[in-house]
Amino acid sequence: MFFSIFFLTIILSFCFVYYFIIRDFSFSLKKKILIILFFICSFALRYLTQLFNSVNIPYISFAAANFFNILIGTLIILVLTGFLFVPIKLWLIFFSNKNKSLILKKRISYLWLICVAILTVYSIYEAYSIRVKKIEICQPRFPMKQVKILQISDWHIKSYSSDFRIKKIIVYTGDNFNSSKIEKNEVLQQLKTLAVPLGSFWISGNHDRNINKSKLNSFLNNLDITFLDNSLSYLNDSLCIIGVRDPGWKNNKKEEIQENKLFSTIPEHVYKIFLKHKPIVFDTIKEKFDLMLSGHTHNGQIFPGIILVKFVNSFSSGLYRLSKKNYIYVSSGIGTWGPPMRLFSPPDITLITLKNQ
**Same domain for 259 and 337:** yes
**Same domain for 121 and 52:** yes
**Same domain for 15 and 148:** no
Last residue of one domain, picked from the residues 102, 127, 152: 127
**Same domain for 237 and 92:** no
**Same domain for 123 and 12:** yes
**What pLDDT is attached to residue 165?**
40
Separation CA 241–CA 259 (nearest Å)? 13
Indicate the number of domains in the chain.
2
- Determine how β-strand 348-355 pairs with β-strand 146-152: antiparallel
Last residue of one domain, picked from the residues 92, 127, 162: 127
Among positive and negative, which fits the CA dihedral 210, 174, 2, 70? negative
**What pLDDT is attached to residue 190?**
65
pLDDT at 1 > cutoff 70: no
**Same domain for 17 and 66:** yes
Separation CA 157–CA 147 (nearest Å)? 27
Number of H helices, E strands in the chain: 8, 12
Lowest mean pLDDT: which of 31-40, 46-55, 85-94, 244-253? 46-55
Last residue of one domain, picked from the residues 127, 144, 177: 127
More confident position, 46 or 60: 46
Q: Name the residue among 212, 238, 243, 248 with its Cα closest to residue 227.
A: 243
Cα-to-chain-centroid distance, residue 184: 20
pLDDT-derived band at 167 (thresholds 50, 70, 90) equals very low
Task: Give pTM, 2 decimals.
Answer: 0.85
**Same domain for 338 and 215:** yes
**Same domain for 18 and 139:** no
CATH of the domain at 252: 3.60.21
**Same domain for 228 and 175:** yes
pLDDT tens digits, one per residue of 224-255 = 889 999 999 999 999 999 999 988 766 677 88
**What pLDDT is attached to residue 186?**
60
**Same domain for 299 and 274:** yes
**Same domain for 120 and 168:** no
In three-state secondary structure terms, 216 is: helix
Bridge partners (DSSP) of residue 177 are: 157
* Whole-number CA gyration radius for the chain: 23
**What pLDDT is attached to residue 63?**
67
Separation CA 304–CA 283 (nearest Å)? 30
pLDDT tens digits, one per residue of 251-304 = 677 889 999 999 999 999 999 999 999 999 999 998 999 999 999 999 999 988
Cα-to-chain-centroid distance, residue 102: 41
pLDDT tens digits, one per residue of 174-231 = 888 776 666 666 666 666 666 678 889 999 988 887 787 888 888 888 888 899 999 9
**Same domain for 143 and 115:** no
My answer on whether omega of the bond before 87 falls inside 30° of 0, hence cis, is: no
Identify the domain containing residue 108 by its residue range: 2-127
Q: Looking at residue 261, what DSSP letter applies?
A: H
CB 172 within 8 Å of CB 225: yes
